[in-house]
Structure 1
Amino acid sequence: MPYALFCNDAQISKAYPDESDVWRLAQRSGLVVDVTADDNRPGPRRVLDNDYEIKPCRAAQGEDPARNKAEADRQARMELELNS
């Protein structure tokens, strides 16, 4: 099942094959924050900022989550090269 980034129940990203792909997208977009540890969990943990959520979704008609992932990975590599 594909996953996407949502805000207030509205899908705001393309569909990706895996939940971890959407976490990477959210991280690159500055939507992931680290919160300090609490009594139940040692160390910091990642959470999404504000009302953002990662949820399972259906891919739009004609949308290929694997292609979306490949394009996002390609764009991330290009950004790294430009920033080097």
Structure 2
Amino acid sequence: MPYALFCNEAKLSKAYPTEADVWRLARQSGLVVDVMINARRTAGHLQLDNDYEIRPCAAEPEEDPWQNRVEAEQEFNIPFAS
């Protein structure tokens, strides 16, 4: 099942083969923030900014999530794990 970036119910990105692919693209786009979960600032986790979320989705009829991944890797110079 492919994944994409959403805000509320609107699909904002192309579909990609894995959730990790969308996280990499969101991080590259500046949509990921580091949130501290304790007062000592020794523990934190990454989350999406604002109301963004990554969800499974159906690819558009003419869309190939694997080709989207290849194009993103070339455009943003992001090495995706295989």
The separation in 2 between residues aligned to 1:43 and 1:62, in whole angstroms, is 43
The separation in 2 between residues aligned to 1:9 and 1:33, in whole angstroms, is 21
* Residue-by-residue CA offset, 1:26-71 (whole Å, 9 max, x unaligned): 00111000001249xx621000000000000000011000000000
Residue 13 of structure 2: aligned partner? 13
Q: TM-score, normalised by structure 1?
A: 0.84
Give the root-mean-square deviation of aligned CA atoms. Answer: 1.6
The separation in 2 between residues aligned to 1:65 and 1:38, in whole angstroms, is 38
Query: Unaligned regions of 5+ residues in structure 2, if any?
Result: none
Q: Percent identity?
A: 58
Residue 68 of structure 1: aligned partner? 68
SS at match of 1:58: coil
SS at match of 1:22: helix
Residue 43 of structure 1: aligned partner? 43
By percentage of residues, which structure has more helix?
A: 1
Aligned residue pairs total 76
SS at match of 1:20: helix
Q: TM-score, normalised by structure 2?
A: 0.86
Residue 23 of structure 2: aligned partner? 23
